Chain A
Amino acid sequence: MRSSALFCFRSIKLLIGLVLILVMSACRNEDGEQAFVDAVEIINLGVQSIAIQVDGQGTILEAGTESSLSAFATLEDSSLLDVTNRVSWSSSDSSIVTVKGSGQLSAGTNSGSAVIAANWGDLSASQSISVSTASLISLSYSSFTSSSSQCVPDRQLMVDGVYADRTSNVTELASWASSNSSVATVSSSGILATLDDGASTITASYGGQSVNGTITVAADISNLALSSTPAANFSLDTSATRSFSASVNELGIVRDVTDIASYESSDANVLTFSNNVASAGSQTGTSDVTVRCGDLATTPITVTVTVPATADDLEIRYNNTDTSPAGPFEVRDSPIQLSAILVFSDGSTLDVTDDADLDWSVNSTVSGTGATVDNGNSKGEVVFNAVGRTRIGIVFDSDDYPYFEDTIDVLVE
């Protein structure tokens, strides 16, 4: 009895110890995990360095306001990758300016400077940011277009604040308004969208100052021109698709309007559109395509929808002459080079002699000592061992074409 109780006591202690171990040892090294994930990502992406881009107000912030930074990684091919949300941000003096994980800066109420650092794995970049208490004197547009069309993508308006000690971009700080929202609207971040013909006054306000600008949206503006790609007539197989793109040239500045343009087919039975992608309809024939954007339209181009040629036959040829079905094919030299030719419904041909999906072989020796045919580096090369009649065969088994096979009897005399 006493021995049994002792065993139970030991077991209970053991179980309690185990439970405590499991609970207490279940800690997690999140910083370590992130360091390894970052390292793998840096290596896999081929990141060479990272750099900070100053957005918003620039390097001098108005006290008590917000701005933003971005981080970009330079990859092995010299391209840039936005890593703003992947780096860890820190400020050398959070009483002057603080920074959040998304690169958003918050200036304190006192003037001064701090160094903002971005760290990603073993890579880092830094940028000095100052906070100023200088007063705002006026606002002015730094980017504004007074004339526009319905066929332009949304665009960013920008406004500068003129301070006693500097000029800074205050686009993100300003409030925006449009006097005629049926003609144009402007977002809280200054993005202008044109909707209809007419005029609207766009006002940016900040710090007790404001600036106005009038935009005129016109049906026919001579300095706008719409173009599309493809711009010339073309043919389209019934199984194929073709993407169109569209752009407008506005005073020499080319803007992509592919997504806001419309694409019209004159015969939907022949050609249909899904957004900017053309595909064949239920019938072959021709259809005229017009690209429209606002009141602008391109000159129609003609698209011809055709049935693609199909592979109808596979022939063994010698000196580009079909050797079958008449046979036997008589030769006197050795070796000779045979060819395998795919013949299409439109009369075109394709030489597949060396194709990996084509196998050459000797089907049988009809008489004599026969011949051999190469199926390796010199596909189709036939070597004759002696006089006789040999049947050469080919089998073409490709995912891209129907299954074909052919034979020819070769007679050596």
Chain B
Amino acid sequence: MRVLIFLMFIWSASALAEETFYLELAANGVMQSVADDDFTLASTELRAGYYIVDMIAIEAFAGVGVLEDSVGDANQSMPSLYGINTRFESPSRDGTKAFIVLGYSSTDLELSRKSSGQVLAEDTFDGFSYGIGLEEALSKTNPIYLNLRWQRHYSAGDITIDSLGVALRYAF
């Protein structure tokens, strides 16, 4: 399935546009709810993107959890997070633009007892993801940007995984 999705992206982007690549380094708060318990973790994430047409880019991202969270004796951690997005941007106005992302996310979660470290559940939650963001150009001469992004990575049944973070972006 994931290979097929990747191939579709390649196919979609086969007619290359003359646009730029970019890299982003993000720091995120990751909000996860499991049934009635809410966990707030932190992750760092690297994104690499490519503009296939003006204001539309595809990007791949991968991240790792850097902070775990506990509710009572339940300890939640996020070993990894990765996926691909299509990013749709608004025209830039005074160096600021809004964007939305639509894509696919895969998140590894691990739930353990805080007291003993015993792992009770670990699994991967993947599926359609979406998000919104705002981006500000930090320099008029260098292609450096700062953006704020909220993204929903998974929401089904009693599990919801959201992230909210800031990212430093360099285009080249």
User: A residues near B, CB below 8 A?
Assistant: 6-7, 9-11, 13-14, 16-18, 20-22, 24-44, 121-122
For residue B5, which residues in chain A have a CB less than 8 angstroms away from its CB? Answer: 21, 24-25
- Give the total number of A-B pairs whose CB atoms are below 8 A apart: 117
User: B residues near A, CB below 8 A?
Assistant: 1, 4-5, 8-9, 11-15, 17, 34-35, 37, 52-53, 56, 71-74, 86, 102-104, 109, 111, 113, 118, 120-121, 123-128, 156-159
Q: How far is the CA of A18 from the CA of B111 in the complex (A)?
A: 33
Asked whether, in the complex, the Cβ of A44 is within 8 Å of the Cβ of B72, the reply is yes
- Tell me the nearest residue of chain A to B4, going by C-beta: A24
- Tell me the nearest residue of chain B to A41, going by C-beta: B35
For residue A37, which residues in chain B have a CB less than 8 angstroms away from its CB? Answer: 34-35, 157-159
Q: Given A21-B104, A22-B102, A24-B5, check contact A32 B120 (CB 8 Å).
A: no
Q: How far is the CA of A299 from the CA of B11 in the complex (A)?
A: 90
Asked whether, in the complex, the Cβ of A39 is within 8 Å of the Cβ of B111, the reply is yes
Q: Given A13-B12, A33-B158, check contact A40 B35 (CB 8 Å).
A: yes
B56, B103, B156: the one within 8 Å of A33 (CB): B156
B12, B34, B53, B124: the one within 8 Å of A29 (CB): B124
Q: Given A7-B53, A24-B1, A44-B74, check contact A18 B102 (CB 8 Å).
A: yes
- Tell me the nearest residue of chain B to A123, going by C-beta: B120
Asked whether, in the complex, the Cβ of B104 is within 8 Å of the Cβ of A25, the reply is yes
Q: How far is the CA of A16 from the CA of B109 in the complex (A)?
A: 31
B9, B120, B128: the one within 8 Å of A43 (CB): B120
Determine chain A's interface SS by DSSP, over half rule.
helix
- Tell me the nearest residue of chain B to A14, going by C-beta: B12
Asked whether, in the complex, the Cβ of B111 is within 8 Å of the Cβ of A36, the reply is yes
For residue B8, which residues in chain A have a CB less than 8 angstroms away from its CB? Answer: 17, 20-21
Asked whether, in the complex, the Cβ of A17 is within 8 Å of the Cβ of B11, the reply is yes
Chain B CB within 10 Å, residue with most, of A18, A30, A122:
A18
- Tell me the nearest residue of chain B to A26, going by C-beta: B128
Cβ distance A61 to chain B, nearest Cβ, rounded Å: 34
For residue B15, which residues in chain A have a CB less than 8 angstroms away from its CB? Answer: 6, 9-10, 13
Asked whether, in the complex, the Cβ of A39 is within 8 Å of the Cβ of B120, the reply is yes
Q: How far is the CA of A35 from the CA of B12 in the complex (A)?
A: 36
Q: How far is the CA of A14 from the CA of B11 in the complex (A)?
A: 8
For residue B123, which residues in chain A have a CB less than 8 angstroms away from its CB? Answer: 29, 31-32, 35-36
Q: How far is the CA of A38 from the CA of B157 in the complex (A)?
A: 13
A27, A40, A121: the one within 8 Å of B34 (CB): A40
Cβ distance A38 to chain B, nearest Cβ, rounded Å: 7
Asked whether, in the complex, the Cβ of A122 is within 8 Å of the Cβ of B1, the reply is no
Q: How far is the CA of A109 from the CA of B1 in the complex (A)?
A: 44
Q: Which 5 residue pairs across A and B have the least CB separation, nearest first? A: A17-B12, A32-B123, A39-B120, A39-B121, A33-B157
Asked whether, in the complex, the Cβ of B128 is within 8 Å of the Cβ of A33, the reply is no
Q: How far is the CA of A204 from the CA of B37 in the complex (A)?
A: 50
